[in-house]
Structure 1
Amino acid sequence: MEPAYRGLGRCVCCFWLAVAFDVVGLLVLLLGVFVDVFFYDLLIYAGAIVIFLSLVWWVFWYSGNIEVLSAELEDDVGLTKKDKGGIGKVVRRLSNRLAGSIRSSVRRNGAAATGSFSRQGGGGRRSAAHVAAAPHLEQVVVALATLKPIDERLHTCGSSVDNDDVEMPSTATEGAPT
Protein backbone atom coordinates (compact mmCIF):
# COMPACT_ATOMS: atom_id res chain seq x y z
CA MET A 1 0.00 0.00 0.00
CA GLU A 2 1.45 3.34 -1.06
CA PRO A 3 1.52 6.16 1.48
CA ALA A 4 -0.96 8.94 0.82
CA TYR A 5 0.86 12.21 0.14
CA ARG A 6 -1.12 15.29 1.01
CA GLY A 7 -0.35 18.95 0.81
CA LEU A 8 3.28 19.35 -0.22
CA GLY A 9 3.71 16.02 -1.96
CA ARG A 10 6.71 13.72 -1.84
CA CYS A 11 9.61 16.19 -1.99
CA VAL A 12 8.97 18.25 1.11
CA CYS A 13 12.69 19.02 1.60
CA CYS A 14 12.98 20.60 -1.86
CA PHE A 15 9.86 22.65 -1.20
CA TRP A 16 11.21 24.11 2.05
CA LEU A 17 14.63 24.78 0.49
CA ALA A 18 12.96 26.68 -2.34
CA VAL A 19 10.92 28.74 0.12
CA ALA A 20 14.03 29.44 2.23
CA PHE A 21 16.02 30.58 -0.83
CA ASP A 22 13.14 32.85 -1.86
CA VAL A 23 12.86 34.41 1.61
CA VAL A 24 16.60 34.93 2.05
CA GLY A 25 16.96 36.30 -1.47
CA LEU A 26 14.07 38.71 -0.97
CA LEU A 27 15.48 39.91 2.37
CA VAL A 28 18.93 40.53 0.89
CA LEU A 29 17.41 42.30 -2.11
CA LEU A 30 15.24 44.56 0.07
CA LEU A 31 18.24 45.32 2.32
CA GLY A 32 20.11 46.51 -0.75
CA VAL A 33 17.21 48.69 -1.83
CA PHE A 34 16.24 50.31 1.47
CA VAL A 35 19.37 50.32 3.67
CA ASP A 36 21.87 53.14 3.10
CA VAL A 37 25.18 51.28 2.72
CA PHE A 38 27.95 51.74 0.21
CA PHE A 39 27.64 48.14 -1.10
CA TYR A 40 23.91 48.30 -1.83
CA ASP A 41 24.42 47.13 -5.42
CA LEU A 42 26.13 43.97 -4.20
CA LEU A 43 23.13 43.20 -1.99
CA ILE A 44 20.67 43.80 -4.82
CA TYR A 45 22.57 41.51 -7.20
CA ALA A 46 23.14 38.83 -4.54
CA GLY A 47 19.44 38.81 -3.63
CA ALA A 48 18.44 38.44 -7.25
CA ILE A 49 20.90 35.58 -7.74
CA VAL A 50 19.64 33.74 -4.64
CA ILE A 51 16.05 34.10 -5.85
CA PHE A 52 17.12 32.77 -9.24
CA LEU A 53 18.83 29.79 -7.59
CA SER A 54 15.61 28.97 -5.77
CA LEU A 55 14.20 28.01 -9.17
CA VAL A 56 16.38 24.90 -9.05
CA TRP A 57 14.63 23.74 -5.87
CA TRP A 58 11.21 24.58 -7.32
CA VAL A 59 11.95 22.46 -10.40
CA PHE A 60 13.14 19.58 -8.20
CA TRP A 61 9.99 19.79 -6.10
CA TYR A 62 7.69 19.95 -9.11
CA SER A 63 9.37 17.17 -11.07
CA GLY A 64 9.54 14.97 -7.98
CA ASN A 65 5.78 15.20 -7.57
CA ILE A 66 4.85 14.25 -11.13
CA GLU A 67 2.82 11.05 -11.05
CA VAL A 68 2.75 8.77 -14.06
CA LEU A 69 0.73 5.58 -14.17
CA SER A 70 2.62 2.39 -14.96
CA ALA A 71 0.38 1.86 -18.00
CA GLU A 72 1.67 5.13 -19.45
CA LEU A 73 5.28 4.14 -18.73
CA GLU A 74 4.92 0.88 -20.59
CA ASP A 75 5.87 2.29 -23.98
CA ASP A 76 8.48 4.74 -22.72
CA VAL A 77 10.71 2.67 -20.48
CA GLY A 78 10.08 -0.86 -21.68
CA LEU A 79 7.78 -2.14 -18.97
CA THR A 80 5.80 -4.92 -20.55
CA LYS A 81 2.76 -6.83 -19.41
CA LYS A 82 3.17 -10.56 -18.92
CA ASP A 83 0.07 -11.50 -20.91
CA LYS A 84 1.07 -9.54 -24.00
CA GLY A 85 1.80 -11.73 -27.00
CA GLY A 86 1.27 -11.83 -30.69
CA ILE A 87 3.18 -9.68 -33.15
CA GLY A 88 4.69 -7.39 -30.50
CA LYS A 89 6.39 -10.30 -28.78
CA VAL A 90 7.78 -11.61 -32.10
CA VAL A 91 9.08 -8.19 -33.11
CA ARG A 92 10.71 -7.64 -29.71
CA ARG A 93 12.40 -11.06 -29.82
CA LEU A 94 13.66 -10.43 -33.37
CA SER A 95 14.96 -7.01 -32.37
CA ASN A 96 16.82 -8.43 -29.37
CA ARG A 97 18.41 -11.17 -31.51
CA LEU A 98 19.46 -8.69 -34.20
CA ALA A 99 20.95 -6.28 -31.68
CA GLY A 100 22.79 -9.12 -29.93
CA SER A 101 24.27 -10.43 -33.17
CA ILE A 102 25.41 -6.96 -34.24
CA ARG A 103 26.95 -6.36 -30.82
CA SER A 104 28.80 -9.69 -30.83
CA SER A 105 30.05 -9.27 -34.42
CA VAL A 106 31.42 -5.82 -33.64
CA ARG A 107 33.24 -7.19 -30.60
CA ARG A 108 34.53 -10.20 -32.51
CA ASN A 109 35.58 -8.51 -35.76
CA GLY A 110 37.53 -5.72 -34.22
CA ALA A 111 35.83 -2.69 -32.84
CA ALA A 112 39.40 -1.58 -32.19
CA ALA A 113 40.15 -1.72 -35.92
CA THR A 114 37.65 1.08 -36.52
CA GLY A 115 39.21 3.29 -33.89
CA SER A 116 36.98 2.54 -30.93
CA PHE A 117 37.99 0.50 -27.93
CA SER A 118 36.61 -2.90 -27.06
CA ARG A 119 34.35 -3.01 -24.03
CA GLN A 120 35.53 -6.42 -22.87
CA GLY A 121 39.13 -6.20 -24.01
CA GLY A 122 40.43 -4.05 -21.16
CA GLY A 123 39.60 -0.77 -22.84
CA GLY A 124 43.16 0.18 -23.69
CA ARG A 125 44.43 -2.53 -26.05
CA ARG A 126 44.41 -2.02 -29.79
CA SER A 127 44.80 -4.63 -32.47
CA ALA A 128 48.00 -4.92 -34.48
CA ALA A 129 46.06 -4.19 -37.68
CA HIS A 130 45.00 -0.84 -36.29
CA VAL A 131 48.55 0.21 -35.42
CA ALA A 132 49.87 -0.90 -38.83
CA ALA A 133 47.05 0.86 -40.69
CA ALA A 134 47.68 4.22 -39.04
CA PRO A 135 49.91 6.20 -41.43
CA HIS A 136 49.28 9.40 -39.50
CA LEU A 137 51.64 8.21 -36.76
CA GLU A 138 54.72 8.75 -38.95
CA GLN A 139 56.55 12.06 -39.07
CA VAL A 140 55.96 14.15 -42.18
CA VAL A 141 58.80 16.29 -43.55
CA VAL A 142 57.74 19.60 -45.07
CA ALA A 143 60.08 21.59 -47.33
CA LEU A 144 59.80 25.38 -47.40
CA ALA A 145 60.82 27.40 -50.45
CA THR A 146 61.63 31.11 -50.63
CA LEU A 147 59.81 32.98 -53.38
CA LYS A 148 60.93 36.18 -55.07
CA PRO A 149 58.35 39.02 -54.94
CA ILE A 150 56.61 39.67 -58.26
CA ASP A 151 56.42 43.42 -57.91
CA GLU A 152 59.55 45.22 -56.68
CA ARG A 153 57.43 47.98 -55.10
CA LEU A 154 55.91 45.43 -52.72
CA HIS A 155 59.37 44.35 -51.63
CA THR A 156 59.89 46.75 -48.74
CA CYS A 157 62.50 45.02 -46.62
CA GLY A 158 65.89 46.61 -46.91
CA SER A 159 68.05 43.68 -47.93
CA SER A 160 71.81 44.02 -47.96
CA VAL A 161 72.11 41.20 -50.47
CA ASP A 162 72.90 42.48 -53.96
CA ASN A 163 71.52 39.58 -55.96
CA ASP A 164 67.86 38.59 -56.27
CA ASP A 165 68.04 35.58 -53.96
CA VAL A 166 66.84 36.04 -50.41
CA GLU A 167 68.56 33.95 -47.77
CA MET A 168 66.51 32.31 -45.06
CA PRO A 169 67.80 30.30 -42.16
CA SER A 170 66.71 26.67 -42.11
CA THR A 171 63.96 25.97 -39.63
CA ALA A 172 62.50 22.78 -38.27
CA THR A 173 58.77 22.21 -38.48
CA GLU A 174 58.61 19.80 -35.55
CA GLY A 175 60.72 19.33 -32.49
CA ALA A 176 60.12 15.58 -32.23
CA PRO A 177 63.12 13.37 -33.05
CA THR A 178 62.77 10.98 -35.99
Structure 2
Amino acid sequence: MSSGLTRCKLVLVFAVMMDLFGVTSMLIGVFASLEVRGRDFSDLLVYTGALLILMSMGGWVMWYSGNIEGLAFGKELGYRRTVVDRIARTLSRRIRRTHRGHSDL
Protein backbone atom coordinates (compact mmCIF):
# COMPACT_ATOMS: atom_id res chain seq x y z
CA MET A 1 0.00 0.00 0.00
CA SER A 2 2.75 2.47 0.85
CA SER A 3 4.59 1.65 -2.39
CA GLY A 4 1.99 3.72 -4.26
CA LEU A 5 3.22 6.87 -2.58
CA THR A 6 6.80 6.33 -3.74
CA ARG A 7 5.96 7.01 -7.38
CA CYS A 8 5.36 10.51 -8.71
CA LYS A 9 6.33 12.19 -5.44
CA LEU A 10 6.70 15.62 -7.00
CA VAL A 11 3.19 15.51 -8.49
CA LEU A 12 1.77 14.35 -5.14
CA VAL A 13 3.45 17.23 -3.31
CA PHE A 14 2.16 19.66 -5.96
CA ALA A 15 -1.43 18.42 -5.60
CA VAL A 16 -1.38 18.54 -1.79
CA MET A 17 0.18 22.02 -1.70
CA MET A 18 -2.32 23.40 -4.22
CA ASP A 19 -5.17 21.96 -2.14
CA LEU A 20 -3.81 23.50 1.06
CA PHE A 21 -3.18 26.91 -0.49
CA GLY A 22 -6.54 26.86 -2.28
CA VAL A 23 -8.61 25.95 0.77
CA THR A 24 -6.72 28.43 2.94
CA SER A 25 -7.22 31.20 0.40
CA MET A 26 -10.92 30.44 0.06
CA LEU A 27 -11.50 30.34 3.81
CA ILE A 28 -9.67 33.63 4.35
CA GLY A 29 -11.66 35.20 1.52
CA VAL A 30 -14.97 34.01 2.94
CA PHE A 31 -14.49 34.67 6.65
CA ALA A 32 -12.07 37.62 6.83
CA SER A 33 -12.94 41.14 5.78
CA LEU A 34 -9.97 42.30 3.77
CA GLU A 35 -10.19 45.94 2.81
CA VAL A 36 -7.27 48.01 1.60
CA ARG A 37 -7.95 51.70 0.91
CA GLY A 38 -11.66 51.02 0.64
CA ARG A 39 -11.35 48.08 -1.78
CA ASP A 40 -12.52 44.62 -0.79
CA PHE A 41 -10.17 41.75 -1.74
CA SER A 42 -12.26 38.87 -0.41
CA ASP A 43 -13.57 37.91 -3.86
CA LEU A 44 -10.04 37.80 -5.23
CA LEU A 45 -9.00 35.32 -2.55
CA VAL A 46 -12.05 33.14 -3.13
CA TYR A 47 -11.47 33.03 -6.91
CA THR A 48 -7.74 32.41 -6.44
CA GLY A 49 -8.50 29.56 -4.04
CA ALA A 50 -10.93 28.01 -6.50
CA LEU A 51 -8.32 28.24 -9.26
CA LEU A 52 -5.68 26.59 -7.06
CA ILE A 53 -8.04 23.75 -6.18
CA LEU A 54 -8.83 23.31 -9.88
CA MET A 55 -5.09 23.09 -10.60
CA SER A 56 -4.70 20.50 -7.86
CA MET A 57 -7.26 18.28 -9.59
CA GLY A 58 -4.90 18.04 -12.55
CA GLY A 59 -2.13 17.05 -10.15
CA TRP A 60 -4.29 14.36 -8.57
CA VAL A 61 -5.19 12.94 -11.98
CA MET A 62 -1.51 12.83 -13.00
CA TRP A 63 -0.49 11.23 -9.69
CA TYR A 64 -3.24 8.62 -9.89
CA SER A 65 -2.55 7.75 -13.51
CA GLY A 66 1.16 7.44 -12.74
CA ASN A 67 0.39 4.83 -10.09
CA ILE A 68 -1.88 2.56 -12.12
CA GLU A 69 -0.63 -1.00 -12.23
CA GLY A 70 -1.77 -4.15 -13.94
CA LEU A 71 -2.54 -2.81 -17.39
CA ALA A 72 -2.09 -5.32 -20.18
CA PHE A 73 0.64 -4.53 -22.68
CA GLY A 74 -0.23 -4.07 -26.33
CA LYS A 75 1.77 -7.17 -27.33
CA GLU A 76 -0.40 -9.33 -25.09
CA LEU A 77 -3.53 -8.03 -26.80
CA GLY A 78 -2.17 -8.51 -30.33
CA TYR A 79 -1.76 -4.76 -30.90
CA ARG A 80 0.52 -3.59 -33.72
CA ARG A 81 2.83 -0.63 -33.22
CA THR A 82 2.29 2.61 -35.09
CA VAL A 83 4.32 5.78 -35.61
CA VAL A 84 2.40 7.50 -32.82
CA ASP A 85 3.36 4.68 -30.43
CA ARG A 86 7.05 5.12 -31.26
CA ILE A 87 6.87 8.90 -30.75
CA ALA A 88 5.05 8.50 -27.44
CA ARG A 89 7.56 5.89 -26.24
CA THR A 90 10.51 8.10 -27.22
CA LEU A 91 9.07 11.11 -25.37
CA SER A 92 8.26 8.99 -22.35
CA ARG A 93 11.81 7.65 -22.18
CA ARG A 94 13.29 11.14 -22.44
CA ILE A 95 11.05 12.44 -19.67
CA ARG A 96 11.87 9.43 -17.51
CA ARG A 97 15.64 9.97 -17.99
CA THR A 98 15.44 13.64 -17.01
CA HIS A 99 13.23 12.82 -14.01
CA ARG A 100 15.62 10.12 -12.76
CA GLY A 101 18.47 12.62 -12.91
CA HIS A 102 16.58 14.97 -10.57
CA SER A 103 14.99 12.38 -8.26
CA ASP A 104 17.76 12.67 -5.63
CA LEU A 105 16.58 16.16 -4.61
Shorter-chain TM range is: 0.5 to 0.7
Instruction: Look up the match of 2:62.
Output: 60
Question: What are the equivalent positions in structure 2 for 1:48-127 lying under 5 Å apart?
Answer: 48-69=50-71, 72-73=72-73, 74-75=76-77, 77-78=79-80
Q: CA deviation at 1:78?
A: 4.0
* Aligned residues with identical type, % of pairs: 44
TM-score w.r.t. the length of structure 2 is 0.61
Q: Which has the higher contact order (CA 8 A, sep 6+)?
A: 2
In structure 2, what residue type is equivalent to 1:67? E
Distance 1:14 1:76 in 2: 33
Q: Which has the larger radius of gyration?
A: 1
TM-score w.r.t. the length of structure 1 is 0.38
Q: CA deviation at 1:9?
A: 3.8
Q: Which SS does the other structure have where 2:30 is aligned?
A: helix
Is the helix fraction higher in 1 or 2? 2
Q: Which SS does the other structure have where 2:33 is aligned?
A: coil
Aligned-residue Cα RMSD (Å) equals 2.0
The answer to whether the Cα contact below 8 Å between 2:29 and 2:43 also exists between their aligned partners in 1 is yes
In structure 2, what residue type is equivalent to 1:28? S
Question: What are the equivalent positions in structure 2 for 1:7-26 lying under 5 Å apart?
Answer: 7-26=4-23
The alignment of Structure 1 onto Structure 2 pairs a total of residues equal to 73
Change (3 A) 1:7 1:68: closer
